[in-house]
Each structure stands twice: as structure tokens, then as C-alpha cells.
Amino acid sequence: MQYPRIALNRRHQLVRRQYEKFLILWYYRDG
């Protein structure tokens, strides 16, 4: 039961990193 949780956490981190990248790009495009 522990492995899927870790995998999910890992995927969440990846998505968050992409989201932060997108936010930075958007910020630079706007400002």
C-alpha cells in the first residue's frame, strides 16, 4: 500500500514543477 502512495507523491512533485515553470513563463510574458 506504500508504493502507490510514493509514486503518486513523485508524480505530484513533477506536476508541481511543471506548473511552477509555466507560472514563471507567464509572469515573464506579462511583465
Q: State the DSSP string of the chain.
A: -HHHHHHHHHHHHHHHHHHHHHHHHHHHHH-
pLDDT of res. 4 = 74
Interval 1-31: pLDDT, tens: 577 788 888 888 999 999 999 999 999 998 6
Overall pTM > 0.85: no
